[in-house]
Structure 1
Amino acid sequence: MASEPERLGGVDFVGSWGVSRSAFASRLLERRGLLNDTLAILSGLLAGTGVVAVLASFVLPVGWDFVASVIVSLALMFSLVIYALPAHPHRRFGYANLVTAFRASLVSLTFATIICFESLATVELALWTLVGVVLFALALDGVDGYLARRYGQESSFGARFDMEVDALLILVLSLAATILDKAGHWVLLIGLMRYGFVALGWVWPRLNGELFPSFRRKLICVLQIAALCIILVPFVTPPFSTAIAAAALVALVYSFAVDIIFLLRQPAEA
């Protein structure tokens, strides 16, 4: 996992890097080499993921809505990356961000499978494949951080990109747990809590303060993905899947509570 920013949220994906809308185009044009490099990488990933989606539509009982969901969701994610690109401090997009972008492709495929595969709950092979894809994405979560350190490509841009992909994956897995009746609709709180924290920061500015680096935060993020992945396994059914989801939610609530209390205890800015 890429080194995490010292906060969990409080501002949006783009705004956290201080890129104003008016300066966006001019700043990108000033860094044409970085823009071209990034566009080439993201375009290639988008095209490749689209091809995989088309091929999967011929094998799985899914329609063209599956392909459209993959392409639209991934294009939206990559658009946000391009929008935030002026804050990237390096000349190239970098190997670490390439791995994170590939993880985003896996998330888009997972999302489309969950919402478009109506008989997913009854096809064990499909569920096992989905679990395998998620585990692969989780394993890659440590690769991008290693590459960033290995090649001197660490940045707040890459850390935020990595964190946003993690957050989206957790939300998608929470949705899967609900659709597959592994737990009640309350399990969506696992995926929505981080976004709720961000939204709360818009109306409660004190939650936009800096957070101390925390291994707890990183560990609980990994545990959320692992727990949600486990309950997708075909033979893990209620009440066991419900108990696992509940334990994951409790851990997440605890982590957010610690950070919120810390932020509220900080002196208010003048």
Structure 2
Amino acid sequence: MGLSLLRTISPSPGFWTQNARVVFSSNMSDTSYLAGARPQAYTDLIAGLVFALLFATVTWSFLDLQATYVVTVGILYAITAYLIASNLPDTLPQPGLGSANRITMARCIGTLCLAGLVTYAESLGTLGRWSIVGLGTGIMLLDGVDGWVARRTGTSTEFGARFDMETDAALMLVLSALVWAEDRTGAWVLLIGAMRYLFLGAGLVLPALRGELAPSFRRKLICVVQGIALLIALGPIIPDFIAVSVSALAMAMLICSFSIDAVWLLRPRPL
């Protein structure tokens, strides 16, 4: 599923932390373009808007949706682009957002297009539901590409990692919303996507929950289960009782994982 997606359930605080991850630089020692890094990144964001609207238009035509779908995706992208632009680092190791972050941006755009389908989910036919499963699967598989590229070239950075993780978290939230909107389960399934955000919110009240957590195989495994379970639940050929069962299993595992992390972060520490 991709190692970076596996970090999605880590309850690290904050959003879009400042630093940039970029890869495929032909000459990492050449920093002559750093002064113009932000303007070039803004150009990438504008290009992303064009791509988002194009992809949304194709989806609108393919699934015979209302024109408001394209507008919704455009608005969601504008909000996302603002968050990215507001937190861009002062310098970037590569022109623009960089190769790895552009891959993450493509995944983000796919997630936004899925988000725009939430209000149409109940009326979508078999073709539309399979399209959701296909796009969701593609986004999750592509998640491994940006992380692999960054690790292989040794250019992983905090901004890129956070951008990747927030995209993963948003995808889980959107998938859980689609499961609910398609009436495959009750509203409780929304907790699967909302759990991380609730944990972050709890950290505002209990600062100890904002502490750093060591990498955990348990967290990675449960995240894989989380994504697979939601995609299974969205499958048109999946009976409702299976959709409910796999979603409930994923949520139970997620609650246990967050509970373990919360207990560890809130444990008494020696003076």
Q: TM-score, normalised by structure 1?
A: 0.86
Matched residue, 1:176: 178
Matched residue, 1:146: 148
Select 1:100's aligned residue among 97, 101, 104: 104
Amino acid at match of 2:255: V
Q: Is 1:226 matched with 2:224?
A: no
Q: What 5-or-longer segments of structure 2 have no aligned partner?
A: 20-33
Q: Retained in 1: the 8 A contact 2:8–2:223?
A: no
Matched residue, 2:78: 75
Displacement after TM superposition at 1:89 (Å): 5.7
Q: Retained in 1: the 8 A contact 2:122–2:183?
A: no
- CA–CA distance in 2 between the matches of 1:211 and 1:137? 26
**Off by >3 Å, runs of 4+ in structure 1:** 1-7
Displacement after TM superposition at 1:223 (Å): 1.9
Matched residue, 1:27: none
Amino acid at match of 1:90: P
Amino acid at match of 1:51: L
| Correspondences of 1:31-50 after superposition (within 5 Å) | 32-50=35-53
- CA–CA distance in 1 between the matches of 2:218 and 2:127? 34
Displacement after TM superposition at 1:161 (Å): 0.8
Deviations 1:171-192 (A, max 9, x none): 1111111111111111011011
- CA–CA distance in 1 between the matches of 2:109 and 2:230? 19
Amino acid at match of 2:206: W
Change (3 A) 1:74 1:155: same
Q: Retained in 2: the 8 A contact 1:4–1:160?
A: no
- CA–CA distance in 2 between the matches of 1:184 and 1:5? 26
Q: Retained in 1: the 8 A contact 2:7–2:219?
A: no
Q: Retained in 2: the 8 A contact 1:88–1:155?
A: no
Deviations 1:5-55 (A, max 9, x none): 7993353204x549xxxxxxxxxxxx6522122222222122012022123
Change (3 A) 1:88 1:188: farther
| Correspondences of 1:60-209 after superposition (within 5 Å) | 60-86=63-89, 90-92=93-95, 93-116=97-120, 118-120=122-124, 123-209=125-211
Q: CA RMSD in A?
A: 2.5
Q: Retained in 2: the 8 A contact 1:46–1:71?
A: yes
- CA–CA distance in 2 between the matches of 1:104 and 1:253? 26
Q: TM-score, normalised by structure 2?
A: 0.86
Q: What 5-or-longer segments of structure 1 have no aligned partner?
A: 19-30
